[in-house]
Every structure is written in structure tokens, then in C-alpha cells.
Amino acid sequence: MEGMFDARKIERVFFNLLLNACEAVAPAHVRIVIEACSSLASFEVRVTDNGPGIPESIRESLFDPFVSSGKPNGTGMGLAIVNRIIQDHGGAVCVEKTSASGTTFLLKFPRSLAGLDAGGQLAPVPHSA
Ligand SMILES: Nc1ncnc2c1ncn2[C@@H]1O[C@H](COP(=O)(O)OP(=O)(O)O)[C@@H](O)[C@H]1O
Ligand SMILES: [Mg+2]
């Protein structure tokens, strides 16, 4: 996938998501699927695990700093950092689905900030004639 982004920061995003997935599932059973697709203007990446799902009590505040659940040494910073980095790239991250059989995080971000309009939204892609 080609685009303009801070490779180290995007690597950090995937590291944090994969670490959480690994921490949510017993090592012998962990299954993580990463799906990526791109259009002319943007990337869409899904990270899916087969863990027990996001605890109900934190579903609304998951991306806030210091929100952690079920981990003795959790800092609650992992997803706050993911959210910040993706926002800095003009994109957005959300939990697409979560249940007792697994969780999917969906990331969307533009190939390049040059493609954004003044409001920071993905600008419409011009159609070729
Ligand atoms: N893939 C996941 N499956 C289940 N719960 C998750 C997953 N990712 C994150 N969580 C929940 O969200 C909380 C916040 O994650 P994060 O911000 O990375 O902080 P930390 O990992 O330090 O607790 C975790 O403590 C965990 O309860
Ligand atoms: Mg974490």
C-alpha cells in the first residue's frame, strides 16, 4: 500500500492493536486477522481477534487515556495513542464489532493529507472523464 504517512507512528498503531489482541486471548488459541483495502483516496484496515470482546463497562470510553480493564499493569494508553495517531493522519478508528467471540477494530485514513479538504475530511475523489 502506498501513501503518505509516518511509518513509525503507523507501526505503533498496529503494535498497540496486536498487543491488545494477544493480551485478550490465551496464547495457544490466539488468531488475529488483518485485512487491508485501499481506494484512490484512502486506506481501510481491519484488525480482528478471537478474544472475549471489549468489557461492556469501558465500551464508551475505550479510546480515552487511562481507561483499562482486566489488566493488573494496564496503563490505558494504548488505544488513546492509536486514536491520536490516526486522527493526526486525518482518519478515524472505531470498534466495528465486539462480542464474546471476538473484536474488530476498523481504521480509516487518507492516503495523503494533501487529499483532505479544509475541514480535515476526506475530499471527494475527482472522476476521470
Ligand atoms: N482486542 C481486545 N479485546 C478485548 N479487550 C480489549 C481489546 N483491546 C483493548 N481491550 C480493552 O481495552 C482496554 C484499553 O486498552 P489500552 O488502551 O490498550 O490499555 P491497556 O492495554 O494498557 O489496558 C484494555 O485494558 C482491555 O480491557
Ligand atoms: Mg494496550
Asked whether residue 118 is domain-assigned, the answer is no
Asked whether residue 117 is domain-assigned, the answer is no
At 54, the pLDDT band (50, 70, 90 cuts) reads very high
Asked whether residue 13 is domain-assigned, the answer is yes
Question: Nearest CA to 47 among 110, 102, 124, 116?
Answer: 102
pLDDT, the chain, mean: 90
Number of domains in the chain: 1
Residue with CA nearest ligand 1 atom 13: 68
Lining residues, ligand 1, CB within 6 Å: 16, 20-21, 24, 49, 51, 53-55, 58, 62, 67-71, 74-80, 103
Distance CA 5, CA 3 (A): 6
26-53 pLDDT, tens digit each: 888 999 999 999 988 899 999 999 999 9
- What's the 123 CA to ligand 1 centre distance in angstroms? 32
Asked whether residue 81 is domain-assigned, the answer is yes
pLDDT for 104 equals: 98
At 115, the pLDDT band (50, 70, 90 cuts) reads low
Contact 42, 121 (CB under 8 A): no
CA dist 123 → 14, 85, 100, 117 (Å)? 25, 20, 37, 5
- What's the 68 CA to ligand 1 centre distance in angstroms? 6
Asked whether residue 30 is domain-assigned, the answer is yes
Stated pTM of the model: 0.89
